[in-house]
Amino acid sequence: MISNNNPISSEILRQRTKKFAVEIIKLVSLFPRNTSGFVVGNQLCKSGTSVAANYRAATRARSDAEFYAKICICVEEADETVFWLEIVEETDLIQKTNIEFLRKEAIEILAILATTKKTLKLKQQKR
């Protein structure tokens, strides 16, 4: 589990989510300049970068409750990002080879964050 008490793992995930956000921005820049490209690109860019921004905020949390709340947002945004990547793939907005790595990375990040959320919830229930 990643927590605000484990600075090494926390920093690795901070870097990983930031790199993910940068790659999402690069991907969106390849979208066609039409209505669907703008709409999907905007949604994907917002959710994909939000994962990194909110995880960064989580690592600066002043309390366990604040950390948990930010992790919950990260899970929601990561799941939304997976959704938009699926839409991109299923609509052939761009070549599938461009999104394969990002879709896998989004799913992995989502799994890490969802596990963290679940572990934190269990800890809270034991108190």
Q: What is the mean pLDDT of the chain?
A: 92
What is the reported pTM? 0.90
Q: Is 66 exposed, middle or buried (0-12, 13-18, 19+ CB in 10 A)?
A: middle
> So what's the pLDDT on residue 43?
98
> So what's the pLDDT on residue 2?
52
| pLDDT tens-digit series, residues 31-81 | 999 999 999 999 999 999 999 999 999 999 999 999 999 999 999 999 999
Count of Cβ atoms closer than 10 Å to residue 101 Cβ: 12
> So what's the pLDDT on residue 83?
98
| Domains detected in the chain | 7-126 (1.20.1440.60)
- Whose CA is closest to 27, among 44, 12, 7, 6? 44
Residue 1: pLDDT over 50: no
Task: Tell me the C-alpha distance between 117 and 127, whole Å.
Answer: 16
> So what's the pLDDT on residue 7?
55
| pLDDT tens-digit series, residues 8-40 | 589 999 999 999 999 999 999 999 999 999 999
> So what's the pLDDT on residue 103?
95
Task: Tell me the C-alpha distance between 50 and 101, whole Å.
Answer: 19
Task: Tell me the C-alpha distance between 87 and 9, whole Å.
Answer: 31
| pLDDT tens-digit series, residues 83-101 | 999 999 999 999 887 799 9
